[in-house]
Amino acid sequence: MDQRFQIILANFRLEGTPVSCERYGFGHINETYLVVTDVSHRYILQKINNHVFQDVPALMQNISAVTAFLKTQEADPRRVLQLIPTTENSSFLENSDGFWRVYDFIEDSICLQLPEVPEDFYESAVAFGRFQQMLGAFPAETLHETILNFHNTADRYRQLHIAIQNDAVGRLSSVQQEIDFALAREAEAGTLVDMQKKGLLPLRVTHNDTKLNNVMLDSTTRKALCVIDLDTVMPGLSAYDFGDSIRFGAATAGEDETDLSKMEMSLELFQVYATGFLSACPGLTKTEKEVLPLGAKLMTLECGVRFLTDYLNGDKYFSIHRENHNLDRCRTQFKLVADMENKWEQMQHIIQSI
Ligand code: ADP
Ligand code: GN1
Ligand code: MG
């Protein structure tokens, strides 16, 4: 095992001595490693991306506070993400290389990139719905905004315009179609934020990155276990959490798919998720419920705009694994938006009928 990791891990209160530390998972933001010790205890070590999250201590304060609050409501350790403290009782370690944290590994669990059966998606809806419901009494105003304007779609357009102006790596001429698609929908971008400002939608503690691969299911029962990846937990709108899940999990193809003919939004999966989410999170207001389809559309549009912006900027934010990766991702998102527009009435009908 690399000495660099031995030194880092020696700072955490682990059971046993680490014997291996390997890259793990499919996240786009942090560097994640699976650690195994000589007493077969497993941990997740993460190097926190401090370019994306510029105030790591504030982010770790959020995670410590939220996991501590969840623990007062849930006794089963596999159902709440568990931070392992350092020998100095801190929630993270800072060294010359960056910021590091360790979580207990959630054993006998699975983490999916796409639902294998509709029930998997239903269970992820239950996990995220329950997460929001359990945090209903948490004082949202005490949380730090770990990324300013994270789901402010209009602000994401502002960043797209800057990227277009700069054309930093000369890719602008090759993406005119995608830019036209985005700009044709710009007027809608501010709708949810404006409704919140007018007091029509309440601010809640939201997860803000509710992809299927940020929830763990029990590998035997396949029931919802635990929500992970809490870096973006902050005050937000319920439509963000609902919408981002639909974007990722109700899609018939992955975010990286290059064959766009495979990419649609499944109305069946939309209904499955909405049923699970609303059953686990019954406290939504009438207006919050009504804007759930809009949440799905805006989160998908926003994500496409973010991938396009990053493509124009020269792939500075999302890790890429091949040429044009961010452009391919942008295209899947826009195809999904177009499909939602075609299915708009059915989406609304499904929500009304639950
Ligand atoms: P990123 O922000 O880069 O997406 P995540 O926190 O989502 O990082 O972690 C990446 C992957 O590592 C997850 O999708 C999951 O497969 C795995 N993972 C993270 N935390 C745990 C944990 N506590 N137990 C088991 N697997 C985990
Ligand atoms: C990032 O961290 P990860 O891979 O779960 C991103 C999300 C995007 C997603 C697209 C902090 O999520 O906002 O929707 O990629 N997270 C951050 O796959 O920017
Ligand atoms: Mg993740």
- For the stretch 191-211, pLDDT in tens is 999 999 999 999 999 999 999
Question: Ligand 1 mean position to 229 CA, how many Å?
Answer: 6
Span 47-53, average pLDDT: 95
Residue 190 has pLDDT above 90, yes or no: yes
Quote the percentage of the chain above a pLDDT of 90.
Answer: 95
Q: At 167, which helix (H) or strand (E)?
A: none
Confidence of residue 287 (pLDDT cuts 50, 70, 90): very high
Question: Ligand 1 mean position to 339 CA, how many Å?
Answer: 30
Confidence of residue 28 (pLDDT cuts 50, 70, 90): confident
d(CA 101, CA 227): 17
Q: What angle do CA 48, 133, 126 make, to 5 degrees?
A: 80
CA dihedral of 72, 76, 141, 197, whole degrees rounded to 10: -130
Tell me which residues have their CB closer than 6 angstroms to ligand 2: 27-29, 52, 209, 211, 214, 229, 231-232, 255, 303
d(CA 342, CA 293): 12
Question: Ligand 1 mean position to 83 CA, how many Å?
Answer: 13
Q: Please tell me the predicted confidence (pLDDT) of residue 5.
A: 97
**Is the beta carbon of 63 within 6 A of some atom in ligand 1?**
no
Stretch among 21-30, 51-60, 153-162, 234-243 having the lowest mean pLDDT = 21-30
Packed helices 344-353 and 292-313: angle between N→C axes, nearest 10 degrees = 130
Packed helices 267-280 and 344-353: angle between N→C axes, nearest 10 degrees = 30
Residue 114 has pLDDT above 90, yes or no: no
d(CA 54, CA 117): 38
- Residues 215 and 119 sit within 8 Å (Cβ to Cβ): no
Q: Please tell me the predicted confidence (pLDDT) of residue 352.
A: 96
> In the structure encoding, which two tokens stand for residue 292, read together?
């759930």
Q: Among 29, 32, 82, 319, which residue has the most ligand 1 atoms within 8 Å of its CB, making it the best to mutate?
A: 32
Q: Which atom of ligand 2 sits closest to the CA of residue 232?
A: 11
The three-state secondary structure class of 11 is coil
Tokens 């000369």 locate to 170
CA dihedral of 10, 14, 15, 17, whole degrees rounded to 10: -20
Confidence of residue 26 (pLDDT cuts 50, 70, 90): confident
> 272: which residues sit within 8 A by CB, 6+ positions away?
118, 121, 122, 125
**Domains of the chain (ranges plus CATH)?**
3-107 (3.30.200.20), 118-353 (3.90.1200.10)
> 306: which residues sit within 8 A by CB, 6+ positions away?
156, 317, 318
> In the structure encoding, which two tokens stand for residue 32, read together?
């994640």
* Percent of residues in the chain assigned helix, strand, coil, to nearest 5: 50, 15, 35
Question: Ligand 3 mean position to 318 CA, how many Å?
Answer: 12
- For the stretch 271-286, pLDDT in tens is 999 999 999 999 899 9
The rounded mean pLDDT for the chain is: 96
d(CA 65, CA 207): 14
Quote the percentage of the chain above a pLDDT of 70.
Answer: 100
Stated pTM of the model:
0.93
Beta-carbon count within 10 A of 31 CB = 16
Q: Which atom of ligand 2 sits closest to the CA of residue 307?
A: 10
**Is the beta carbon of 45 within 6 A of some atom in ligand 1?**
no
Distances in Å between the Cα of 207 and the Cα atoms of 35, 64, 78, 131 are 26, 14, 18, 8
Q: Please tell me the predicted confidence (pLDDT) of residue 248.
A: 94
Q: Is the Cα torsion angle 203, 208, 210, 216 positive or negative in sign?
A: negative
Confidence of residue 141 (pLDDT cuts 50, 70, 90): confident
Q: Among 51, 151, 211, 214, which residue has the most ligand 2 atoms within 8 Å of its CB, making it the best to mutate?
A: 211
